[in-house]
Structure 1
Amino acid sequence: MIYSLDKINEMAEGDQDFINSVVSVFLEEVPQDLEALEIAIKQKDFSNIYQLAHKIKPNVDLLGMEQTRATALEIETLGKSKATISEITEKFPLLKKDIHQVISELKKDFPVS
């Protein structure tokens, strides 16, 4: 398992509805943001690359995905500094793989009721 509910559990203080809500928002928003980020990278749209990586970062952080958060931060920084697109395209597959793996795990662990 590459995610952890420790931060969410701490915030939720036993409120399972809150936990379910956070997971639901993650499953709804992050795949869309990831897809938009991939498009922004293909279009070399540095402003959107920065904004989307910035938006993804706290969501993966909330799930204790430290490595994924670090990758999102790198992409965010590269987007902001308008680095070479090759550096961003090199890092994006790792972000995408980790997020897709977590989405798959979350769907198994939190079946839609």
Structure 2
Amino acid sequence: MIYNLDKINEMAEGDQDFITSVISVFLEEVPIDLEGLEKAIAERDYENVYKLAHKIKPNVDLLGMEQTRAIALEIETLGKNADNMTQIEEKFPVLKKDVLQVVAELQKDFNL
């Protein structure tokens, strides 16, 4: 398991519906953002690379995915400059793998 619910549990104060809601939003939004990020990288659209990495970052942070958050931050920072696309292309597969793994784990763990 590469996710951790400590931050969500702290926010939820025992409200299981809140936890399920946060997980559901993650499962709905992050795969779409990840797909958009992959497309932006393929199209060398560094402005959207920056925006989408920025959008993904707090979602993975909320799930305690520190390594994934760090990679999203790197991609976000690199996305500020079109000259960094090669580095972004090198880092993206790790982000994608981690996010897809967590999506599968969350779907299984929460029956969503």
- The alpha carbon displacement at 1:81 in A equals 2.9
- Who is 1:18 aligned against? 18
Counterparts of residues 92-107 of structure 1 (less than 5 Å):
92-107=92-107
- Who is 1:69 aligned against? 69
Of stretches 77-86 and 59-68 in structure 1, the one that deviates more from structure 2 is: 77-86
Letter in 2 for 1:70: A
Separation in structure 2 between the aligned mates of residue 26 and residue 93 of structure 1, nearest angstrom: 19
- The alpha carbon displacement at 1:111 in A equals 0.5
- Who is 1:2 aligned against? 2
Using structure 1 for the length normalisation, give the TM-score.
Answer: 0.97
Identical-pair percentage: 73
- The alpha carbon displacement at 1:85 in A equals 1.0
1:78 aligns with 2:78: yes
Letter in 1 for 2:48: N
- Who is 1:39 aligned against? 39
Instruction: Could you list the structure 1 runs, at least 4 aligned residues long, displaced by more than 2 angstroms after superposition.
Output: 81-84
Separation in structure 2 between the aligned mates of residue 17 and residue 58 of structure 1, nearest angstrom: 20
Separation in structure 2 between the aligned mates of residue 63 and residue 110 of structure 1, nearest angstrom: 14
Residue-pair matches, total: 112
Letter in 1 for 2:25: V
Letter in 2 for 1:52: L
Separation in structure 1 between the aligned mates of residue 23 and residue 13 of structure 2, nearest angstrom: 15
SS of 2:59 mapped into structure 1? helix
- Tell me the alpha carbon deviations over residues 46-69 of structure 1, each in whole angstroms, 9 at most, x when there is no partner: 110000000000000000000000
- The alpha carbon displacement at 1:80 in A equals 1.3
1:111 aligns with 2:111: yes
Letter in 1 for 2:77: T
